[in-house]
């Protein structure tokens, strides 16, 4: 029987090509079953390897024995230009074709070649497989587990097996293994998601909230509750799988390959009979994902399955992305039920940090003080703009712990300098000895030994101190916030009451006279700091009037010096540059569609970067 290449799947063709390369690698002249079997097992993400793993056989052990068998086979002196198949190899290909026909498959796949190799009763391949307990019955059972109801009806059929395992992450499995961070609070939002999931129609919730408020954490909390059994009966034993859109799109070179992958995922979800809840993080990415010119994007493939209730999804996206992508597509939007997620308060953030604290302490091998948690929540809320709690507070705790650990494990500069000096002295000592300046060499040696003794003593002392518990406190957090924002550390932590009481005296050290202006500024600052003024409005708006040289600019500089320890921490704008109507865009940034929109304004950018 003559078999054509187009009768094999792409994976099977790759196996046959690689097996012939193995013939040349081992300097053989005949192409045998052992070459084909080794090529099958060396296949990256191949079905034969998965079958052996499913059976419980160590893949590397089988490959090592096949390698030894091929190494011990007779070799030819020069690589043969012509490779001849043995009768056993020819019979294996025939058996593979018969196996494909028996399983009603249209193409010969890698699994058919493997079954044919297992059916072989003679030779080293048969002996090795038998020694490891591999037989036809076990292979068939494992293959059914891997293939499910898939058939080999196209040349890329193997890539569709276990699509859910390949292109998704099982959050319920991670929750079972304790690998997910605990979810604090958010009971109301998780309950809303569960209510939506148990509805008869439109039972696909989409969680909407700003980046960093904990949208993904809600779904992780749902997975944890399913594992704990703390859900309605209709949600018990369900699996929450996070679909990886990046993996779905990656490597899809040919037209229709992405659609095939997504369809195979959807088919497996349908076959699970509503046991699977698909989590689409950044759900707006499915709009337009994988669409070539004239192709269908992921959202259009999902719509029919969502409409018929064959597919149940939980989405997560930001409000801006939801409006931009999902709301515009009304057919997609009406199949989802929005669940709004607000930023937690500072107090709620502190509770979240307290629950997460043991994870970060174990990871960084440090202790985290309660004052550090409060400072991280309070200071990040006040001084870090453009980001949301609890994400920015968690970042502060993580980075402060990391910084403390690195500082503790690295040698101080003076100890490092001694190490470098010791190396220099050693070089000078050797050079002096080569020049027969033995007295000079002896002096250098005495100096080097003295430094080595000091260096070793200091290093051992540091190692002993390192074993003492390291604690992240509010000062570490304040130092980090100071690095990010430029606000002096002392200003972040100290009680300002004492300083504010004597604010006028401080300003008068720089400004002589001008009592009315100094008092007005000081009172406005005190009102703001005492919480009497509206926190959403400016602390104060002042117009200093007077002739040149009386201290108008100096008062502004003195205020910056008092508040931020640096008189340059102010934005100075010369209004003579803004006499024309259109120049206001330089101050607050150009509107969308105009030149310079991405750059921001001189005032707005300065405030955003250094609040």
pLDDT in tens, 484-514: 877 766 666 655 566 777 788 878 888 888 8
Confidence category of residue 328, pLDDT binned at 50, 70, 90:
confident
Residue scoring higher pLDDT (402 or 165): 402
Confidence category of residue 140, pLDDT binned at 50, 70, 90:
confident
Residues 6+ apart with CB under 8 A from 237: 226, 275
Average pLDDT over residues 265-285: 86
Structure tokens at 62: 């089988």
Top CATH class, 164-342: alpha beta
| 279 DSSP β-pair partners | 242, 314
Cα–Cα distance measured from residue 76 to residue 206, given in angstroms and rounded to the nearest whole number = 66
For 349-384, write each residue's pLDDT tens digit: 999 999 999 999 999 989 999 999 999 998 888 888
Average pLDDT over residues 328-339: 88
Average pLDDT over residues 253-262: 75
Q: Which fold has domain 5-161?
A: Double Clp-N motif (1.10.1780)
Structure tokens at 580: 């024309």
Prediction pTM value: 0.68
Give the DSSP letter string of 277-343.
EEEEETGGGGTTTT--TT---HHHHHHHHHHHTS--EEEEE-HHHIIIIITT-HHHHTT-EEEE-PP
* Residue 361: per-residue pLDDT: 92
Residue spans of alpha helices (H) in 532-583: 552-564
Structure tokens at 289: 């994902």
Q: For the sheet with 168-170, list strands across it.
A: 168-170, 239-243, 276-281, 313-317, 205-208, 337-340
What letter does residue 235 receive in the DSSP assignment? G
Q: List the one residue out of 104, 113, 108 whose CA is nearest residue 149.
A: 104
Give the DSSP letter string of 251-290.
T--STTHHHHHHHHHHHHHHHTTS-EEEEEETGGGGTTTT
For the four alpha carbons of 41, 47, 51 and 54, in that order, the dihedral sign comes to positive
Cα–Cα distance measured from residue 527 to residue 152, given in angstroms and rounded to the nearest whole number = 76
Q: List the one residue out of 412, 380, 392 whose CA is nearest residue 211.
A: 392
CATH for the 347-474 domain, from 3.10.20.30, 1.10.8.870, 3.30.479.30, 1.10.8.60:
1.10.8.60
Average pLDDT over residues 413-417: 77
* Residue 399: per-residue pLDDT: 94
Map out the domains of the chain as residue ranges.
5-161, 164-342, 347-474, 494-569, 575-604
Residue spans of alpha helices (H) in 132-286: 136-147, 163-167, 171-176, 187-197, 215-228, 245-249, 257-271
Least-confidence region, from 2-16, 330-344, 562-576: 562-576
* Residue 502: per-residue pLDDT: 75
Computed over every residue of the chain, the mean pLDDT equals: 83
CB-based contact 136:119 (threshold 8 Å): yes
* Residue 608: per-residue pLDDT: 72
What is the Cβ-side half-sphere exposure of residue 117, based on CA atoms within 13 angstroms? 26
Average pLDDT over residues 329-347: 89
Residue scoring higher pLDDT (145 or 211): 211
**pLDDT above 70 (res 418):** yes
Check if 5-161 and 164-342 are the same fold: no
Q: List the one residue out of 401, 413, 564, 379 whose CA is nearest residue 469.
A: 401
Cα distances (Å, whole numbers) of residue 587 to 314, 597, 609: 42, 12, 15
| 500: three-class secondary structure by DSSP | helix
* Residue 261: per-residue pLDDT: 80
CB-based contact 268:231 (threshold 8 Å): no
Please return the burial class of 34, using the count of CB atoms within 10 Å of its CB with bins 0-12, 13-18 and 19+. Answer: buried
* Residue 154: per-residue pLDDT: 67
């Amino acid at each position: 029987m003559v078999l054509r290449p187009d009768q094999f799947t792409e994976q099977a063709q790759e196996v046959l090509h690689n097996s012939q390369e193995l013939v040349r690698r081992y300097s053989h002249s005949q192409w045998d079953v052992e070459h084909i079997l080794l090529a099958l097992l060396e296949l990256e993400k191949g079905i034969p390897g998965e079958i052996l793993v499913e059976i419980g056989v160590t893949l590397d052990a089988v490959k090592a024995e096949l390698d030894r068998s091929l190494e011990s086979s007779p070799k030819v002196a020069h690589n043969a230009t012509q490779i001849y198949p043995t009768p056993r190899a020819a019979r294996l290909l025939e058996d593979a074709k018969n196996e494909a026909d028996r399983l009603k498959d249209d193409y010969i796949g890698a699994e058919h070649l493997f079954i044919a190799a297992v059916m072989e009763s003679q030779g080293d391949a048969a002996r090795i497989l038998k020694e490891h307990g591999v037989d036809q019955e076990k292979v068939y059972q494992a293959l059914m587990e891997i293939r499910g109801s898939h058939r080999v009806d196209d040349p890329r059929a193997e890539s569709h097996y276990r699509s859910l395992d390949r292109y998704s992450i099982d959050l319920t499995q991670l929750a079972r293994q304790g690998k997910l961070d605990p979810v604090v609070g958010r009971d109301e939002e998780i309950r809303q998601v569960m209510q939506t999931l148990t509805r008869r129609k439109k039972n696909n919730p989409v969680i909407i909230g700003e980046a960093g408020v904990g949208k993904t954490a809600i779904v992780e909390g749902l997975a944890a509750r399913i594992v704990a059994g703390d859900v309605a009966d209709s949600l018990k034993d369900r699996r929450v799988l996070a679909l990886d859109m990046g993996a779905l799109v990656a490597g899809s070179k040919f037209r229709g390959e992405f659609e095939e992958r997504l369809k195979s995922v959807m088919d497996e979800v349908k076959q699970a009979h509503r046991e699977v809840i698909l989590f689409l993080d950044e759900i707006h990415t499915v709009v337009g994902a994988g669409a070539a010119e004239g192709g269908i994007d992921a959202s259009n493939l999902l719509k029919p399955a969502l409409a018929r209730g064959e597919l149940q999804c939980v989405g997560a996206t930001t409000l801006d992305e939801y409006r931009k992508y999902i709301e515009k597509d009304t057919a997609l939007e009406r199949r989802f039920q929005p669940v709004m997620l607000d930023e937690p308060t500072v107090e709620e953030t502190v509770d979240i940090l307290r629950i997460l604290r043991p994870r970060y302490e174990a990871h960084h091998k440090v202790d985290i003080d309660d004052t550090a948690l409060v400072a991280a929540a309070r200071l990040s809320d006040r001084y870090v703009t453009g980001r949301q709690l609890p994400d920015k507070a968690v970042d502060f705790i993580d980075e402060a712990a990391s910084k403390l650990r690195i500082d503790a494990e690295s040698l101080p500069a003076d100890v490092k300098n001694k190490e470098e000096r010791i190396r220099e002295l050693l070089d000078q000592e050797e050079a002096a000895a080569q020049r027969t300046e033995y007295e000079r060499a002896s002096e250098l040696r005495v100096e080097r030994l003295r430094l080595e003794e000091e260096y070793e003593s200091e290093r051992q002392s540091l190692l002993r101190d390192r074993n003492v518990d390291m604690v992240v406190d509010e000062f570490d957090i304040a130092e980090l916030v100071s690095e990010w924002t430029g606000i002096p550390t002392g200003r972040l932590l100290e009680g300002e009451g004492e300083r504010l009481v004597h604010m006028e005296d401080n300003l008068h050290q720089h400004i002589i006279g001008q009592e009315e202006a100094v008092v007005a500024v000081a009172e406005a600052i005190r009102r703001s700091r005492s919480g009497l003024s509206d926190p959403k409005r400016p602390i104060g708006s002042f117009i200093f009037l007077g002739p040149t040289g009386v201290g108008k600019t100096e008062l502004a500089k003195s205020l910056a010096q008092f508040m931020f320890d640096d008189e340059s921490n102010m934005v100075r704008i010369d209004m003579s540059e803004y006499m024309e109507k259109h120049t206001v865009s330089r101050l607050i940034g150009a509107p969308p569609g105009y030149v310079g929109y991405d750059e921001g304004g001189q005032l707005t950018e300065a405030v955003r970067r250094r609040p």
